[in-house]
Amino acid sequence: MRPPVRNLLVLGAAWGALLALPPAALMAGEPGAAPLAALLGAALAGALGTLAAARALSGGRGGFRALLGFGALQGLSGGGVAAVLVWGVMAVSIAGLSPAEPGGLSALMRPAVFVGSFFVALSAFVYALLAGLLLGPVLGLLVIRLLRKGEA
C-alpha cells in the first residue's frame, strides 16, 4: 500500500471516529461492545468516505468550491456506509437476535424493526452528511496536503 493511501486511510478513520465519539458517548450508558462497534464502524465509514472524496479531489481542481465538494462527497459516501452499518446493527439489536438463536431471522422483517432501525440509520446519515459539509473543507485541506506530499 502506497504511503499517501495509507495516510488517507488513517486520516479518514480518525475523522470518522472523531465524528462518532460525541454521539456514542451520549448514547452509551455504560462501556460495552455497542459503543466500540459504533466507533469501529464510524472509523471504517470515515476511511472509505475520505478515500472516495480524495480521489475526486486529486483531479486538480482547487479553491473553496472544491473543498465543499470534497466535504459533500465525503459526507455522502461515509454517511452511506455508516447508515448501512447502523441499519443492520440496529435491526439485529431491536429484533433481539443472538448467535444462540439464529432461527429468528424473520423478526428482522417486522415493520417496527424495519422502520425503527431505518430512522436511526437515516439520522446517522444526515449527521455524517452535515458534518462533511460543515467540517469537510478543513479535512480537505489536510487531504490536499497529503496528496501533494505523496506526489513529491
Residue 2 DSSP code: -
- Show the domain range for 83: 3-151
pLDDT in tens, 86-142: 788 777 777 777 666 665 666 667 788 778 888 888 888 888 888 888 887 888 888
Q: State the Cα–Cα distance between residues 103 and 97, nearest whole angstrom.
A: 8
* pLDDT tens digits, 17-28: 887 777 766 666
What is the pTM assigned to this prediction? Answer: 0.72
Say how many domains are in the chain: 1
Rounded Cα distance, 25 and 13, in Å: 18
Q: Residue by residue, what is the 3-state secondary structure of 35-56? A: HHHHHHHHHHHHHHHHHHHHHH
Cell of 85: 452499518
Q: How far apart are CA 48 and CA 42, in angstroms?
A: 10
